[in-house]
Amino acid sequence: MWRATDGQPLVLPKIAYGRGSRLYDVTGKEYIDGSGGPAVYCLGHAHPEVNDAIKRQLDAVAHAYRYNFASDPMDDLTELVARRSGPGFNRMIFTTGGSEAVESALKVALHYHYAAGAPTRQRFIARERAWHGNTLGALSVSHFKERRAPYEGALIPASHLSAVNRYRPPRGVVADDVAAACADELEREIVRLGAENVAGFVFEPVVGAAGGAVPAPPGYARMVRDICDRHGVLMIADEVMCGTGRCGTWRALEHDGVTPDVMAVAKGLGGGYVPLGATLYHDKVAAVLDGVGGPQTGHTFTGHTLACAAGLAVQRIVERDQLVERVRADGPGLMKTIEERFADVDRVGDIRGRGFFVGLELVADPATKQPFPAADGVHLRVRRQALDNGLICYPSGGNVDGVNGDTVIIAPPFNATDAEIDEIVDKLDRSVRAALADVDVT
C-alpha cells in the first residue's frame, strides 16, 4: 500500500474514465498519463479501434480453451509478434501478465536443459536492483528487498550480481569500465557455481521499476551473449517493461544488436486493454523442447482469446502508425527537453533511459550521490505533487540499496501528441521542484 511520509495510507482518486493520454476521476479532475500507468498504456486509453476489436471478439467468444480449440486471434498475434521480434522467435506462450511471463521463461529454461540431458542446470543468475515479478520464481530472481522480505525462506536459490549502472558503478569501478567489469562478474559467478549447474542469466536490458530506467552501457549485452554461449547458459531477457517498442525498437535488445534465447514481454504488448504477456523462446530452444512435446508451462487462461484479440489490435495499430519508429525518432528529444528543464536542479542527480522510457534519480547530495533517507519518502512526495498537478508518473524507492533511493519514471503513450509531451514535462518539472522544496521545509 502506498503510504504518506507520516505513515498514513494515501487516499487515491477514484477513476471515472480515460480518453487517449488523459484520465478523469469521479470529481471531474483531469490527469495526463505521463507514465502510461506502470509503462503499460502504449496507445493511451479507450482507443476506438481496440475497443471495437474487443467488442467483436466478445460477441463471438470470450475464451476458447487452448487444449480444445485453436483461434485466429492467437494464431495471428503469434505471427505478428514473431515477425516483429526478428529471426528465430517463432515460438511463444501467451500469459496474462509479466510475472507469469517471467515465471514461464524460467520454466522453459529448466525444461530445455532437462530435455537436453543436463538436469543439473538448475541455478539462475540475476542482478541486484532488478525487478522481475511477483510469482515465487520471478520474485526469487528479483532484488527488491521490501517485496522479497515476507517470502525469503520459500524463494528458490539465485545469485544476484552488481547492478549495471554507470551513475552508480560497483565499488572500485569507474563508469567507463562498468560494462566489462559486470560482464566479468557474470563469468566468475558461472565458474564459481560450475557451468554444469547454471540454467540461465536473467536481466532487464533497461532496468525499470527497481532502478529507474537504467540502460546497460554499450557493449555489455554483447559481452553477456558471448559469455552465455561459451558456458552453455541461456540468456533470458526480461523485456516486460522496456520491450514492445518502449525503447524505440520492438525488442529492447535490438538496440544492442543482441538476440536472447528466451524473452518475457507484457505491458505494451496488450497496452493494458486486457491482461496479456508472452514468453518467447528461440528456435534453438524449440528444437530441443519439440523432442519432448514442448514446454510444460501454461495455465487455464494461457492464450486467452479475448486478450489475444486485444493485443492483436494494439500491435496492428502500433505497426500501421509506425509508433515504434516515432518513439525512436522522438525519444532523444524527450530526453534532451527533460535534461534542459532540470539543468539548474542539482539534486536531480541523473537523467537516463531510452526512447519513451526516461528515469530521474533524486539525490540529497549531488557531489557524493548520497540518496535521501528512505524516511523522507521523496518519491512519494513527487507522486503526491504530481497528482495535485494532474500528472500520472511512476515513482519508486530503494534504487540505491534496496531501502534508500528515489526515482521517477516518465513513459508516455507512443501516440501522445507533441503538445501532450510538452505538458507532461511541464508538470513533471513543477512536481519535482515542489517535492524537493517540501523536503527542505519538513
Domain boundary among the residues 320, 349, 375 is at 320
Model confidence band, residue 7 (pLDDT cutoffs 50, 70, 90): low
Whether residues 187 and 138 fall in one domain? yes
Whether residues 416 and 375 fall in one domain? yes
Model confidence band, residue 3 (pLDDT cutoffs 50, 70, 90): low
pLDDT at 144: 82
pLDDT in tens, 180-212: 999 999 999 999 999 999 999 999 999 999 999
pLDDT at 6: 44
* DSSP 8-class letter at 195: G
In a domain, 86, yes or no: yes
Domain boundary among the residues 275, 298, 320 is at 320
Note down the domain range covering 342.
15-46+323-440
pTM for the full predicted model: 0.96
pLDDT at 11: 84
Q: What is the CATH number of the domain that holds 75?
A: 3.40.640.10
pLDDT in tens, 28-52: 999 999 999 999 999 999 999 999 9
For helices 305-320 and 72-85, angle between their N-to-C axes, nearest 10 degrees: 40
Higher pLDDT, 149 or 213: 213
Q: What is the CATH number of the domain that holds 363?
A: 3.90.1150.10
Task: State the Cα–Cα distance between residues 126 and 144, nearest whole angstrom.
Answer: 12
Whether residues 176 and 148 fall in one domain? yes
Q: What is the mean pLDDT of the chain?
A: 96
For helices 48-60 and 305-320, angle between their N-to-C axes, nearest 10 degrees: 150
**Inter-residue long-range contacts of 376-381, CB under 8 Å, 24+ positions, other chains counted:** 376/5, 376/439, 376/442, 377/3, 377/4, 377/5, 378/406, 378/435, 378/436, 378/439, 379/406, 379/407, 379/408, 380/2, 380/3, 380/4, 380/5, 380/10, 381/5, 381/435, 381/438, 381/439
pLDDT at 222: 98
3-state secondary structure of 129: coil
Instruction: Count Cβ neighbours within 10 Å for each residue of 24-62 and write b for 16 or more, e otherwise.
Output: beeeeeebbbbbbebbbbbbbbebeebeebbeebeeeee
114's CB contacts (< 8 A; 6+ apart) are none
Whether residues 40 and 54 fall in one domain? no
Q: Lowest mean pLDDT of 5-9, 257-261, 327-331, name the range.
A: 5-9
